[in-house]
Chains A and B, each alone.
Chain A
Amino acid sequence: MIAVFFMKRDTQTIEKQENSVGLVETKYYTFAEPPDRLKLISGKELGPITLAYETYGTLNKDRSNAILILHALSGSAHAAGCHSPQDRHPGWWDNYIGPGKAFDTKRYFVICSNVIGGCSGSTGPSSINPETGKPYALDFPVITIQDMVNAQYHLIKHLGIDCLLAVTGGSMGGMQALAWSISYPQMVKSVIAIATSALLSAQGIAFNEVGRQAIINDPNWKSGNYYGSWPPDSGLSLARMIGHITYLSEKHMHMKFGRRFQNPEFNSADFRTEFMVESYLHYQGVKFVTRFDANSYLYITKAIDFFDLETEYGGSLMKAFEKVRSNFLIISFTSDWLYPSAMSKDIVRALRRNGKNVIYTDIETDLGHDAFLIENPVLERNISNFLKSEFEKIGLP
């Protein structure tokens, strides 16, 4: 019954395969081998570190067409294409990455890596701690958005790229993109930051905390030491359900589900799932636990909460962007209440005060925060045109 929502999506995927990057595989890069561990913002050191990554398209002779894609909270290195011919779920940004798409793999070399702290191939709390031979669990050090970026820097260098045509991402991916432009100004030609913010709002932190409490209060969590036993699935799935509410707009949710019933019989005494929206959230929660680690959820949401460029630069966002050299495309969505348009405008204003080249557009949509993951012709056109002109500006076709 639940699967009904997604059957439509699957058939769409099959139809679109002609502009897909096709079969892809995840690769791995390990660095920061002891004693050369990566120094984290917390002062602690981590190593060795493995980053899972995928690439699409071909790096040109001048190595000037590389684009780094940065994923959001629950994303992975698998941004486009499929892992097997039977795979019906392409990468998380397949709508935008592929031949002829916004990130046109005929022109650009596209890289996406899983963040440190993640659980899709990169080193995170579920990875084996070489000192103990057991998963890190809560011995994994606290990580920040900056740490994610610093780790990606090693991957980009490893790939032989000195300068990225663009760094881009939505939500937490946008935060990383901003951090990239600030930390490595020489390496970033342009930034496309979508539905993001220079700092998370109190409301955003509040929702993240409710999600974390759902995990922590699951008896299976066991202070994070659940590896090898039953994981805190109900806590993690509840966290995901809460998250999903924040990714949609009230209007879109109502349009999509209305008050329609999943199970038509009227008997609420057993509190079974009755409305379609309930069923949808349950499905999202259940689906999520099969691919995500609860401890990773805790670490990554904390990293998002702690991200605050304003405080980091003495209370001035303008100061944060003083030394950036990139050109910016900043995009928000009118119905996004988790990362509202005003937050994107704050970034734009700080950039303008510094006299930087910046494009800002507030795309009209009812789809809420998650709009960047869904096909949107305006978003696609803006990304594609911006990249084209930025690429031309470095004197290449």
Chain B
Amino acid sequence: MKTYTKIGYDLVVKLIPENSRVLDLGCGSGDLLVMLQKIKKVKGAGVEISEEGVSKCVEKGLYCYQGDIDEGLMDYRDNSFDYVILNQTIQSTKRPRYVLKEIMRIGKKSIISFPNFAYIYARYQLLFQGKIPKNILFPFEWYESPNIHQLSIKDFEEFCAENNYTILKKFHFNIHGSSDSKVVKIFPNLFAQYGFFLLNGEKPPAKGGISSQPV
């Protein structure tokens, strides 16, 4: 099955100002970080679960930590990054709530983007075919999908409201061609393939330094 690569990269690159300090969670082979370094001269770091991904990052001259996002964030200090990126990864974390809380703590701003489970074609597959959606957004069989916490754009908006996370911008999008993003403004929860949120995580510096512990 055809899959997209570089999903939402163009939006991320556009959004991040020059010389920002960026942490990419689930950075894979480091392609997004390299793009950001080249175009926006960011100071980047990554977290990646696979040994192979880390090796490729090292090859590209990136600093990358091999580990699970669900465990590896507590070491970072409050506000230690201008931007924390969680691109197409939140749906496969074990504890999304905790991960989001940590992201909001360590990043002044964060970019969260994920495949929208309420996208019209996914709804169609579930409603008319009676099957778990399997398509270009969710290219896995139900028994081997890493996407253990599926969500929709609406779910995420509600989640942010409940947790008092401020949404600064939304660029829900569809993919055109192989990787270009086209922002969807009308009924995005129905018509956008991907949700894309810019959240504000900035807070007054905490007194105790490293504060959060895993929940």
Binding site for B on A (CB under 8 A): 327, 329, 345, 348-349, 352-353, 355, 357-364, 378, 381-382, 385-386, 388-389, 392-393
Interface size class of B (residues with CB under 8 A): 20 to 34
B77 touching A357, Cβ below 8 Å? no
Per DSSP, chain B at the interface is mixed
B55 surroundings in chain A (CB, below 8 A) = 361, 378, 381-382, 385
B66 touching A358, Cβ below 8 Å? no
A389 touching B210, Cβ below 8 Å? no
Binding site for A on B (CB under 8 A): 45, 51, 54-55, 57-67, 75-77, 80, 210
| Complex-state Cα separation, A355 to B61, whole angstroms | 17
B76 touching A386, Cβ below 8 Å? no
With A359-B58, A382-B58, A385-B59 in contact, is A352–B51 under 8 Å at CB? no
Which chain A residue has the least Cβ–Cβ distance from B48?
Answer: A361
3 A-B pairs closest in CB distance: A389-B61, A352-B75, A349-B75
| Complex-state Cα separation, A361 to B76, whole angstroms | 18
B63 touching A361, Cβ below 8 Å? no
A359 surroundings in chain B (CB, below 8 A) = 54, 57-58, 62-65
With A352-B75, A385-B58 in contact, is A364–B63 under 8 Å at CB? no
Q: How close is A254's CB to chain B, nearest CB, in angstroms?
A: 24
Which residue in B59, B61, B65, B76 is a CB contact (below 8 Å) of A381?
A: B59
Q: How close is A362's CB to chain B, nearest CB, in angstroms?
A: 6
A361 touching B75, Cβ below 8 Å? no
A352 touching B76, Cβ below 8 Å? yes
16 intermolecular pairs with C-beta atoms under 8 Å apart: A329-B58, A353-B76, A353-B77, A355-B80, A357-B63, A359-B64, A360-B65, A360-B67, A361-B55, A361-B58, A382-B55, A385-B58, A386-B58, A389-B60, A389-B61, A392-B61
Q: How close is A325's CB to chain B, nearest CB, in angstroms?
A: 14
Q: How close is B210's CB to chain A, nearest CB, in angstroms?
A: 6
A389 surroundings in chain B (CB, below 8 A) = 58, 60-61
| Complex-state Cα separation, A229 to B7, whole angstroms | 73
A362 touching B58, Cβ below 8 Å? no
B59 touching A361, Cβ below 8 Å? no
Q: How close is A390's CB to chain B, nearest CB, in angstroms?
A: 8
A364 surroundings in chain B (CB, below 8 A) = 51
